[in-house]
Structures are given as C-alpha cells and as structure tokens.
C-alpha cells in the first residue's frame, strides 16, 4: 500500500494489533520514503445476500441513500446518517457472518433510525415492512408510544421548568 503522505510504495509494519475481538487487524506502518507513520485496517469483506440469489458488498453509502428518502424534511443531518450507517455496519459485523440477508440489513436499520427520528422511522418501516392499512400504522405508533413512555407517566416538563427549586434537608437526630 502506498504511503498516504508521499505515495512511496515501500513501507514496513512496525506494530500489528487485533481489534474488535478478532474481527479486524490494525497495522502501524512506517514509510521507507519519508519515514512517516500511518495505520491500515484489515477487515473481512461483508456481503449482502439479495433476494435474487446474488450478493454484493455491503455499502454504508447504500444504507444512507436508502434512509435519506425517509428523512426528507426531517431534522436529520448528514452526520446523523453517517453515524447510523456505521451503527448498522457494526451490528452486522457483530453477527460474525460474512454474508447477511438483505432483510437483516433492513432490520438493523430500524433500531438506530427509531432513535434518530420517529417519523422517519415510521416512513421507513411502512415501506420496509409493507404496511397495508391504517391499522398497521396505528399498531406501530401505539408501540412507539408504549416504549417511549413505559410507565404510562406524562413527561412533567411543565413542573420542572417552574422556578421553585425545592431543596430537601434531611435531619438526623
Ligand atoms: Zn512516505
């Protein structure tokens, strides 16, 4: 691999480290030309098995473009999308499989997308899980509400924003 600084072709490995519980190797290299050091990372290729029976390399860019449509008009930045795609890749790599069914890629997107934006999540889920009826949406929204508010309590934003800060003093006789 060429030195990223001077483009010389020769480098020697000065350190080698196993990362991510054996799923990746990182090598510290020193350029024979300019003497500067750089790091290379080696991971196994991750493939997505498509329904047609073919497979293709996993691509974070494809995850981003798939999710971006669902995020139109929502307060989701490019950085958010990049982080989501990274989370998805981490999740898929953690399964330890070299080939992931396309279906599972979609599933791995749903979790982090819900964290990011519930409306975008609903849009994505409605396409991905092919919601047919209003009831499908209602059921999903009910689920979102239940999980957002597991104890059935209303957020007391009004109370906490009031000016009265109560200090509790406990006396030990
Ligand atoms: Zn160099």
Q: What is the pLDDT of residues 114-172, one digit of tens each?
A: 999 999 999 999 988 888 899 999 999 998 888 877 665 555 544 444 444 444 455 55
Residue-wise pLDDT for 6-17, tens only, equals 999 999 999 999
pTM for the model stands at 0.68
**What digits encode the pLDDT tens for the residues 104-117?**
999 999 999 999 99
Q: Give the total residue count for the chain.
A: 173
Beta strands 24-31 and 11-19, pairing class: antiparallel
Residue 30 CA to ligand 1 center (angstroms) comes to: 8
Strands 37-43 and 47-49: unpaired
**19 CA to middle of ligand 1, Å?**
25
* CA 42–ligand 1 middle distance (angstroms): 20
Q: What SS3 class is residue 54?
A: coil
Cα(17) to centroid of ligand 1, in Å?
21
User: What's the CA-to-centroid distance between 50 and ligand 1, angstroms?
Assistant: 41
pLDDT, position 166:
46
CA of 12 to the centre of ligand 1 (A): 11
Express as a percent the part of the chain with pLDDT over 70: 86
pLDDT at 36 over 70: yes
Helices 102-116 and 118-128 meet at what angle, rounded to 10? 160
Q: How many CB atoms lie within 10 A of CB 89?
A: 18
Confidence check: pLDDT of 97 > 70? yes
Between the CA of 16 and the centroid of ligand 1 the distance, in Å, is: 19
The Cα 66–Cα 54 span in angstroms is 19
| pLDDT of amino acid 173 | 54
Tell me the sheet residues that pair with 27: 16, 40
Tell me the CA–centroid distance for residue 86 and ligand 1, in Å: 29
């Amino acid at each position: 691999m060429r030195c990223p600084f001077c483009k010389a072709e020769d480098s020697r490995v000065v350190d080698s480290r196993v990362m991510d519980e054996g799923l990746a190797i990182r090598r510290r290299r020193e350029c024979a030309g300019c003497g500067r050091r750089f790091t290379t990372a080696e991971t196994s290729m991750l493939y997505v098995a498509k329904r047609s029976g073919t497979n293709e390399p996993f691509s974070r860019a494809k995850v981003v473009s798939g999710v971006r449509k669902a995020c139109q008009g929502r307060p989701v930045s490019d950085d958010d999308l990049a982080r989501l795609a990274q989370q998805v890749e981490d999740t898929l790599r953690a399964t330890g499989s070299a080939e992931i069914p396309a279906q599972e890629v979609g599933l791995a997107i749903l979790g982090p997308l819900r964290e990011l934006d519930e409306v975008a999540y609903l849009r994505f889920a409605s396409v991905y899980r092919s919601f047919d009826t209003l009831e499908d949406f209602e059921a999903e929204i009910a689920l979102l509400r239940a999980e957002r508010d597991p104890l059935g309590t209303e957020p007391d934003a009004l109370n906490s924003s009031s000016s009265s800060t109560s200090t509790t003093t406990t006396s030990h006789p």
